[in-house]
Homo-oligomer: A and B are copies of this chain.
Amino acid sequence: MACPPEAYRQRRARLAAGLRRPMVLLSGNAPARDYAANPYPFLASSTYLYFGGPPIENAALVIEPGSDGDEGCELFRQAREPDDLVWLGNVPSDERLAGAAGLGAHRVATTDRLASRPAAGAACCICPPFPEALRWALEAGLQQADNDELLLVVDMRLCKDDHELEAMRRAADVGVEAQLAAMRATQPGRREADVAAALTEVLVAHECTPSFTPIITTAGEVLHATGYSSVLKPGQLVLVDAGAETPTGYTSDMTRTWPVSGEWSDVQRHLYDTVWRAQAEAIAACVPGRRFRDIHDLAAKVICEGLIEAELLRGDPAELTQRYAHTLFFCHGLGHLIGLDVHDMEDFGDLAGYAPGRTRRPEFGNKFLRLDRDLEPGMCVTIEPGVYLNPAIWARDDLVGPLADVVNRPKVDALLKERFGGIRIEETVCILQHGGPEILTETLPNDPDAVAVLAGAA
């Protein structure tokens, strides 16, 4: 558990004050691979964890309206059969689970009694997307929590308290160590898989899981590239986007890009510097009250400036940004919420990422921005500008045609031909009350010289 019992009790009491009907939070279960006895690793549902649910499968936390966080709350856990004890070992006692969650010891019951407890139809639930949990919610007559109910949760999870921040720092530290191992494992002739192995080893040694399937690729322009089969060749860039999830469920997310050989080409270095500058300006803008979409647009403008200097675009930076010319090179969003999920609360759609009344802009690139809120102290967000030469974009007339007058196509084509790939730098930051943010990933170098030296040292 990431927090002291009293913190969980207080969170439940605060939620209960806003509830009009009981809320059931389900822990979920590990989904099966091809057959039931071979599950993926279990990762408990984030909202359930936030309110003090212990990380055990097929459990449920019930919170009644007006509860003080103890009275009116109940934890339902699966009964363990005698044969299960032989195969799976002992489980923590009810007393221990209740104690860690800040519940009275008598508030733990077995899940077979859950269905009879909340009057059918009178309770709502937040349920992870696994068949067993969904079926269970259905059988118990639970309804999906409505948007008002989800917003109560969003309001609480949006800004991290000190306990959560400690857990976020821990997740960041493990991620940083893993990224450093990845840099040091880079060497011409080795493969992406060798880099992935070095990174994964660090995560596992810290009892962490990857917070998402690590992106480790020489094809950085493919934003969610999978597989690690390419050989690392001199002249190429490696992009590593990875993070840790701690046993308490908190996550980190960070990206670095470095040259396989430890040496930057002129154009690689120039575009790295562009991304780095966009990163620095965006981070400096991460202060309370600032609208995240404006910071995205600020980073886009800095990138346009760099693309003009590199003679890939021509024109006025502000005008190019307004025409979204940068989206040909920087097509994703500047960042997202992060916490108990890497894209924190993305299971609620845009309810968390977008402030009430705001919606996604429809244009290519803009529509991928996952966050448009005014920043508040305690919010943790990623800042991850990038520049990519992606053939899938340059093959599309609908995107390139309207911007043909400002694009230096021969130079673009030359970089596509040499498979430039992509560059991204990503930090996780926490907004502070005063001044710039705390950079949770600060100990991981992003200076192009330092990054190159680490990679070249292998």
List the one stretch of A65-73, A144-152, A388-396 in contact with chain B. Answer: A388-396
Inter-chain contact A222/B129, CB cutoff 8 Å: no
Give A45's nearest chain B residue, CB to CB: B34
Q: Return chain B residues, CB-CB under 8 Å to A134.
A: 131
Give A47's nearest chain B residue, CB to CB: B34
Q: Return chain B residues, CB-CB under 8 Å to A46.
A: 34
Tell which of B43, B83, B225 touches A34, judged by Cβ atoms closer than 8 Å: B43
Q: Return chain B residues, CB-CB under 8 Å to A35.
A: 129, 341, 343, 346-347
Interface residues of A in 95-116 (CB under 8 A from B): none
Inter-chain contact B219/A89, CB cutoff 8 Å: yes
**Chain B nearest CB, measured from A82 CB (Å):** 6
Complex Cα gap A31–B390 (Å): 28
**Chain B nearest CB, measured from A2 CB (Å):** 15
Give the interface size class of chain A. Answer: 35 or more
The copy count of this chain in the complex is 2
Complex Cα gap A31–B194 (Å): 26
Q: Return chain B residues, CB-CB under 8 Å to A247.
A: 229
Q: Return chain B residues, CB-CB under 8 Å to A224.
A: 87-88
User: Does A279 reach chain B (CB closer than 8 Å)?
Assistant: no
Complex Cα gap A381–B250 (Å): 40
Inter-chain contact A193/B206, CB cutoff 8 Å: yes
Give A134's nearest chain B residue, CB to CB: B131
**Chain B nearest CB, measured from A413 CB (Å):** 18
Inter-chain contact B197/A88, CB cutoff 8 Å: no
Give A207's nearest chain B residue, CB to CB: B193
Q: Return chain B residues, CB-CB under 8 Å to A87.
A: 222-224
Given A89-B222, A205-B193, A341-B38, verify A392-B82 contact (CB < 8 Å).
yes
Q: Return chain B residues, CB-CB under 8 Å to A130.
A: 31, 131
User: Does A198 reach chain B (CB closer than 8 Å)?
Assistant: yes
Complex Cα gap A198–B200 (Å): 10
User: Does A414 reach chain B (CB closer than 8 Å)?
Assistant: no
Inter-chain contact B229/A86, CB cutoff 8 Å: no
Interface residues of A in 185-241 (CB under 8 A from B): 193-194, 196-198, 200-207, 212-213, 219, 222-229
Tell which of B45, B88, B212, B227 touches A222, judged by Cβ atoms closer than 8 Å: B88
Inter-chain contact A197/B205, CB cutoff 8 Å: yes
Given A34-B128, A390-B86, verify A200-B204 contact (CB < 8 Å).
yes
Complex Cα gap A87–B226 (Å): 10
Inter-chain contact A32/B129, CB cutoff 8 Å: yes
Inter-chain contact B31/A31, CB cutoff 8 Å: yes
Q: When each residue 24-39 of chain A gets 1 if its CB lies under 8 Å from chain B and 0 otherwise, what string results?
A: 0000000111111111
Complex Cα gap A364–B364 (Å): 61
User: Does A331 reach chain B (CB closer than 8 Å)?
Assistant: yes
Interface residues of A in 278-331 (CB under 8 A from B): 331
User: Does A93 reach chain B (CB closer than 8 Å)?
Assistant: no
Give A199's nearest chain B residue, CB to CB: B204
User: Does A275 reach chain B (CB closer than 8 Å)?
Assistant: no
**Chain B nearest CB, measured from A239 CB (Å):** 13
Given A204-B200, A343-B35, A364-B83, verify A131-B131 contact (CB < 8 Å).
yes
Q: Return chain B residues, CB-CB under 8 Å to A37.
A: 343, 346
User: Does A402 reach chain B (CB closer than 8 Å)?
Assistant: no
Tell which of B32, B201, B226, B393 touches A197, judged by Cβ atoms closer than 8 Å: B201
**Chain B nearest CB, measured from A332 CB (Å):** 8
Q: Please list 19 pairs of residues, one from A and one from B, whose beta carbons are closer than 8 Å in the complex, sorted by A's number.
A: A31-B130, A34-B45, A34-B128, A34-B347, A35-B347, A38-B343, A38-B346, A82-B392, A85-B392, A86-B331, A88-B226, A89-B222, A90-B391, A90-B392, A193-B205, A197-B201, A197-B203, A200-B200, A201-B201
Can you add 12 more A-B contacts, CB < 8 Å, to A34-B43, A89-B225? Answer: A32-B129, A35-B129, A37-B346, A40-B40, A86-B223, A87-B222, A87-B224, A129-B131, A193-B205, A193-B207, A196-B204, A197-B200
